[in-house]
Amino acid sequence: MDRSRVIDPQKGLDALVRELAAAGYRVVGPIVRDGAIVYDDVTSGSDLPTGCASDQAPGRWRLRIDDEPTRFGWTPGADSWKRFLAPAHQEVLRIRRHDGSWVSEAPPPPDRPLALVGARDCELRAVAVLDRVLLDADRPDAQYAGRRRDTFVVATTCGVPSATCWCTSIGGGPQPHHGFDLRLTELHEGGHRLLVESGSELGTEVLGRIPGRLATDVDHVAAEAVVARAVEHLPPRLPGSDLPALLAGSASHARWEQVAQRCLSCGNCTMVCPTCFCSTFDDTTVLTDDGSAPVETVRRQHWASCFELDHSNLGGVPVRATIAARYRQWLTHKLETWPAQFEVTGCVGCGRCTTWCPAAIDIVHEAGVLIGADDRSGAGRREEQP
Ligand code: SF4
Ligand code: SF4
């Protein structure tokens, strides 16, 4: 069977979405809503953005729409696939009184596996980070495992990186190489088309059912040119693999207090980060009419942030009481201590935390100051004014 084909950007994408839905997947992909690109259920290829581009800078994300037929000319917004694999709010346990005893129930697994359409390399590496943490053999997260099982991934090459992207500094790049069943690369030279390459046997099977033609050397060369052009726009900004060593010993650096003068401790950076997995739980108990023994207790899990004061409560006292301490925890966990803890880097260089920071704080620039490096691209230098 063919492992690479060329499909029409409109009809072919439509056929792909419909094929995945017919195969029993819950198909999720990018859509335009309220002036932004978010991920949601899609039922046809025409639900995916057309003629969209995004302008990004520290503290800024804007959608531009033109009359072009481009399908993947944008970079992701605040949303990430994390929301579908580990939702922001979810019930995890229900305990109820039954026949004089207690019965506990976990929510059932999803009725359909997910198909993620349009995932970038940084996003696939972020899912791999979540897998490393939440599918840990000793303590797997059952809810996450249920959602992650049999996920079908349609990745896409990032042809137009944004000004806050820095994936090439931290082990990634514009083209996904792992973790996908199909990979799309949008081509313009020589005619608008999508090169589709399979990354798994299942991907090859699905590809065989999508109308298109065999890919030629011309198509593959055009795809290489797309990647090369994207890499040109992604000059390395930090020495990624050396960051743990370079940041070690920075705990008392004066920069933490300086950035704390601007940081609002709002937690936006942690909410949009596709690898942040901290969560908290609450229990809601339903009492009988007379307020005696409870009849039911529901436990829910919610995303949490290391910028919340009570996140570091130990014995009733927050050990990271200042914003400087909380920002230091955020940055050093991402870039310094994560590899020792999980054997992977905790940051994939997607730039979301910088784009969606209301104070325009750029994690790359801050890390560069801490290690005494020059931020060579100059992106994200809006340091003092948001
Ligand atoms: S760094 Fe920015 S996004 Fe993160 S908590 Fe501070 S102000 Fe909010
Ligand atoms: S720390 Fe920032 S750049 Fe790194 S993965 Fe999280 S949101 Fe993306």
pLDDT tens digits along 221-267: 999 999 999 999 998 899 989 999 999 999 999 999 999 999 999 99
CA of 382 to the centre of ligand 1 (A): 14
* Res 291: pLDDT: 61
Beta-sheet pairing, 213-214 with 182-187: unpaired
* Res 287: pLDDT: 78
Triad 82, 85, 90: Cα angle to 5°: 100
Q: Which residues line ligand 2 (CB under 6 A)?
A: 272-275, 334, 347-353, 363
Most informative mutation of 238, 333, 334 for ligand 2 (most atoms within 8 A of CB)? 334
pLDDT tens digits along 180-201: 999 999 999 999 999 999 999 9
> Domain count of the chain?
2
* Res 100: pLDDT: 81
Are 351 and 328 part of one and the same domain?
A: yes
* Res 383: pLDDT: 44
Most informative mutation of 264, 311, 332 for ligand 1 (most atoms within 8 A of CB)? 264
* Res 99: pLDDT: 82
CA of 303 to the centre of ligand 1 (A): 16
Are 37 and 125 part of one and the same domain?
A: yes
Please check whether residue 98 lies inside any domain of the structure: no
Query: Per-residue confidence at 375, pLDDT binned at 50, 70, 90?
Result: low
Distance CA 185, CA 162 (A): 17
Distance CA 134, CA 278 (A): 11
Distance CA 291, CA 270 (A): 39
| Token output for 27 | 């198909």
CA of 56 to the centre of ligand 1 (A): 17
Are 186 and 266 part of one and the same domain?
A: no
Are 331 and 182 part of one and the same domain?
A: no
Most informative mutation of 361, 364, 366, 384 for ligand 1 (most atoms within 8 A of CB)? 361
Are 223 and 323 part of one and the same domain?
A: no
pLDDT tens digits along 91-135: 999 998 888 888 999 999 999 999 999 999 999 999 999 999 999
CA of 84 to the centre of ligand 1 (A): 24
Please check whether residue 113 lies inside any domain of the structure: yes
SS3 category, 174: coil
Residue 89 β-bridge partners: 302
Are 123 and 179 part of one and the same domain?
A: yes
**Which residue's alpha carbon is nearest to atom 8 within ligand 2?**
350
Highest mean pLDDT, choosing among 136-145, 180-189, 372-381: 180-189
Are 134 and 227 part of one and the same domain?
A: yes
pLDDT tens digits along 53-64: 999 999 999 999
Ligand nearest to the backbone CA of 272:
2
Please check whether residue 381 lies inside any domain of the structure: no
* Res 57: pLDDT: 97
Q: Are 270 and 330 in contact (CB under 8 A)?
A: yes
Please check whether residue 39 lies inside any domain of the structure: yes
Please check whether residue 56 lies inside any domain of the structure: yes
Whether the per-residue pLDDT at 380 is higher than 70: the answer is no
The ligand 1 atom nearest the CA atom of 326: 5
Are 186 and 244 part of one and the same domain?
A: no
In a 10 Å sphere around its CB, with 0-12 CB exposed, 13-18 middle and 19+ buried, how is residue 95 labelled? middle
Ligand nearest to the backbone CA of 263:
1
Are 122 and 255 part of one and the same domain?
A: no
Q: Quick one: the chain helix, strand, coil %, rounded to 5?
A: 30, 25, 45
SS3 category, 81: coil
Triad 349, 3, 124: Cα angle to 5°: 20
Are 157 and 69 part of one and the same domain?
A: yes
CA of 144 to the centre of ligand 1 (A): 27
Q: Are 62 and 83 in contact (CB under 8 A)?
A: no
Its domain, for residue 345, covers: 240-278+305-371
Q: Final residue of a domain: which of 175, 204, 232?
A: 232
Q: Final residue of a domain: which of 178, 208, 232?
A: 232
144 alpha carbon, distance to own chain's centre: 15
| Token output for 286 | 């339903």
Please check whether residue 163 lies inside any domain of the structure: yes
pLDDT tens digits along 331-355: 999 999 999 999 889 999 999 999 9
**Which residue's alpha carbon is nearest to atom 2 within ligand 1?**
357
Most informative mutation of 352, 364, 365, 375 for ligand 2 (most atoms within 8 A of CB)? 352
Distance CA 56, CA 357 (A): 12
Are 176 and 79 part of one and the same domain?
A: yes
Residue in the block written with tokens 């800024």? 60
**Biggest alpha carbon distance in the chain?**
76
Please check whether residue 182 lies inside any domain of the structure: yes
Whether the per-residue pLDDT at 376 is higher than 60: the answer is no
Distance CA 113, CA 148 (A): 8
**Which residue's alpha carbon is nearest to atom 6 within ligand 2?**
273
| Token output for 218 | 């011309």
| Token output for 48 | 């995916």
| Token output for 239 | 């020495």
Ligand nearest to the backbone CA of 120:
2
Please check whether residue 284 lies inside any domain of the structure: no
Residue 97 β-bridge partners: 102
Q: Which residues line ligand 1 (CB under 6 A)?
A: 263-269, 307, 357-359, 361
CA of 50 to the centre of ligand 1 (A): 32
Beta-sheet pairing, 114-119 with 152-156: parallel
Q: Final residue of a domain: which of 232, 267, 297?
A: 232
CA of 331 to the centre of ligand 2 (A): 10
Percent of the chain at pLDDT exceeding 70: 95
At position 313, the amino acid (one-letter code) is N
CA of 22 to the centre of ligand 1 (A): 42
Residue 79 β-bridge partners: none
Are 29 and 72 part of one and the same domain?
A: yes
